[in-house]
Structure formats: C-alpha cells, structure tokens
Amino acid sequence: MHSGCCFCGELRFQLAADPTFACHCHCASCQKSTGVGFVTWVTFPAAAFALTSGALVEHHSSAGVTRGHCASCGTSITYLHRDRTTDIDVAAACLDDARIVEPKAHIWLQDKAPWIEVYDDLPKFQQRVTRL
C-alpha cells in the first residue's frame, strides 16, 4: 500500500498496488498545468487509486487527457489518458515515500524547456512512450 497527499494536506490518496512505470514528462501541457519544467509521473493500475480525504477537481487539458488537482490548493495529482484506461499516473512528488519511484525514460523532449539539461542515461523520446 502506498499513499500520498497534496501540498496543503487536505487531499490524501492511497494506492493498493506497486508502480508499473515512471517517467519524466517534458510536454508543454505538463509544464503549463504545474508551472515547472517537467513532471515525474508514476503509473499505477487505475483501480488501485482511492481518495481517502479531500476532493479531486478534474480538468480536460487536451484531447483525451484528464488531469486531477486538489480542490483546495491546486496541486497536480493525477493524469488520465483515454488510450490507457487501466492506468493512472500520479505525480511522484506527491507520494509520501518517493523511494518507490524509478523513472525509466524522459518523454516529450520536443517540448523540453530550454533551461533544462538532461544528462542522465535514461532513454529519451521526442514524444510519448508508456512502457519500455
């Protein structure tokens, strides 16, 4: 069982499964929706995600994409894509124990912020990848 919360702590969630994937996403939508250069997403089975307190406000940010934010403080929590209905991506920084996160790739590097330099040895993709 894994758990996490938003910045203000009002929204809490649990995940009743281990992660299946993790990546650093550099897409323009992630940048705009969070205000940072990239987001590290951790993928779990969607059925494993449960809110334990607070409210998740959903926003349809682009075709087929629904992002979930804390209703109180606005922290970006989840990412859902209609092409991966059995998965939910959770912002790694919101996990109570981020030691479970093992990023496997950088994705959407075509949108990478110009001040971000990627020096690690992870695979790098110009667009989306969901599994390696």
Is residue 66 situated within a structural domain?
yes
Is residue 10 situated within a structural domain?
yes
Is residue 51 situated within a structural domain?
yes
| Torsion on CA atoms 84, 36, 90, 33, rounded to nearest 10 | -60
pLDDT tens-place string over residues 97-124: 999 999 999 999 999 999 999 999 999 9
pLDDT tens-place string over residues 5-22: 999 999 999 999 999 999
pLDDT tens-place string over residues 62-84: 889 999 999 999 999 999 999 99
Place of tokens 């550099």: 26
Confidence check: pLDDT of 130 > 70? no
Please state, as a whole number, how many other Cβ atoms lie within 10 Å of the Cβ of residue 67.
22
For position 28, which CATH number holds? 2.170.150.70
Number of domains in the chain: 1
Is residue 79 situated within a structural domain?
yes
Among 62, 109, 66, smallest CA distance to 84 is for 66
d(CA 127, CA 105): 11
Is residue 30 situated within a structural domain?
yes
Enclosing domain of residue 63 = 2-111
The pLDDT > 90 percentage for the chain reads 91
Backbone angles phi, psi at 20, to 5 degrees: -110, -15
Q: What is the pTM of this model?
A: 0.91
